[in-house]
Every structure is written in structure tokens, then in C-alpha cells.
Amino acid sequence: MNGSPIITLTTDYGLRDHYVSALKAMILSINRDVRLIDVSHMIDPQDVMAAAWITQNSAFLYPSGTIHVVIVDPGVGTSRKPIALRIRDQIFVGPDNGLFSLIADGEECEIFELSNTEYWGNQRSNTFHGRDIFAPVAAHLSRGVLLEDIGTKVDNLVQYKWALPVHDNEGIQGWVMHIDHFGNLITNVTAEMMSHLSDDAPLKIYIGNTILKRIVRTFSDVDPGEPAALIGSSGHLEVVVNSGNASEMLSANKGTPISILFGKS
């Protein structure tokens, strides 16, 4: 990678306390030349799924050689492993609790348990592995330390138990897997699952008490305040409200079911 090394940070730490600053301080104390990028620190506490989703949709936009520190760690201080992975010439550092299930799905990856304490911080808290393990390891990696030096190679990741959509010739049963800052309901139904449909194919989309009868191209294809279904930038079906908040308007949350029936007008 040309130029200064890049480390991205994704956590559920929030911005009220000193935790994000402590990560950055630890990294900069080891490598002042690194560029630090905040992806998000506003993930809901302990929401492993949201962190996995954000990582999958952001990581590969960065240059080759980028190091991604991802920390949503409800099992901090337990026997869960601290790990680093190499996927597509990028490195991911964080807890082995399912965070990397999506980003590693279908990819060739090398996985290392962070067992070499030489590259940990001097302070060793049981409740702040972000500062004491993940941040210093990422900083050392940004200085050229090899993955092979920071730990022991392992074969498997812990897999988060994602509920997959069920689909057949009649339709798809899915659910809301993420709600973004705007209240858009991002589902686990992908555009590929509906690729056999023509643009004007009849269908009905059921979510809560709302029925939608088409997939639009963009928000403004419906009037302000009206709900719509569209394929979002992640390639997933989303239920949105033009100039509004779909989660609030439809009383929908993560896990809310969505049904798409083909051939229904």
C-alpha cells in the first residue's frame, strides 16, 4: 500500500466517553504515521449483527492493505478468542464472536488467534480488550509486523447464526436485518433473489400492516410521506419512506418479517 497505512475503527463505544480516544491514543503511541478512519462508533451496544453488516458494506471500499479494527464484544474477558484475519489483502482485527461471519462468507481467508502477548499493550484489563489487545495489534501490523508473528493460525471462525430468507417460485420470506440512521428497513432479501422478475412483474410486499405493490427506483418515485420498496446501495431490498422514517411509521424493528409474493397484483 502506498502512503501512510490506514486503520479503520468500528465500535459500539459511542462518543460520550473516552473509549474511542483511548483506542486512538494506543495506536498513535505505536505508529504516529497511521491514518485513522472512524467508520462508526454509534452501533447499538452488543449489536454484533449491525457491526458485521456495516463491516461487510464498507471494508472493501478501502485500499489494499487497510487494517480494520471492529469491536462489538459482549464476551470481553471470557474465553472467546481475539483474532486477526486476512481477506483480499485487507486485515481485520477483533473478537471471534461472529463479527466477521459476513465479510468472510465465500472468501478465502487466513485466521490468526492473537496469542503473542508481545504485541499487546502493557495495560491488561479484562474489560477493555479494544485498548489493550486489538488497538496495539493493529498498530504493530501497520508498522509491518506479519500476521504470522502476532499469533497462531487457526482453521475456523465462530459463525453468527444468521436467519436466511426462504424463497421459492411463489415468493420470498425474509426479515429486517438492519435499520439505518434514516429509519430505512434493510432486509436480508437480495436483489439477486428477484433477478428473474421483469420491472413490471406483479408482486405484493407485506410488512406489518403495510402492502406495497411494486419496487421503485428511488425515494422520489413516491410522494413525500409514502412508503416504498427499493433496492438499496447494498444490493438488498429496503422498505423506506420518502422524506420520512420507515421504522417509526411502520412500527418495524430488526427481526420484523417481510413477505414478497410473486404474481400478485
Q: Which band of pLDDT confidence, cut at 50, 70 and 90, is reported for residue 2?
A: low
Query: Which pLDDT belongs to residue 84?
Result: 98
pLDDT per position as a tens digit, 210-261: 999 999 999 999 999 999 999 999 999 999 999 999 999 999 999 999 999 9
Q: Going from the N-terminus, what domains does the chain have, and what CATH number goes with each?
A: 6-154 (3.40.50.10790), 166-262 (2.40.30.90)
Dihedral sign, CA of 126, 161, 235, 89?
positive
Residue 243 gets which letter from DSSP? Answer: T
Burial of residue 48 (CB within 10 Å: 0-12, 13-18, 19+) is buried
Q: Which residue has the higher pLDDT, 208 or 200?
A: 208
Mean pLDDT of 128-136: 98
Residue 131 has pLDDT above 70, yes or no: yes
**Single-letter amino acid, residue 35:** R
Query: Which pLDDT belongs to residue 44?
Result: 95
Query: Which pLDDT belongs to residue 244?
Result: 98
pLDDT per position as a tens digit, 149-177: 999 999 999 988 777 899 888 899 999 99
Of 142, 143, 141, 122, residue with least CA distance to 132: 122
- Distance separating alpha carbons of residues 44 and 26, to the nearest angstrom: 24
Residues found in the chain: 265
Query: Which pLDDT belongs to residue 7?
Result: 99
- Distance separating alpha carbons of residues 124 and 54, to the nearest angstrom: 28
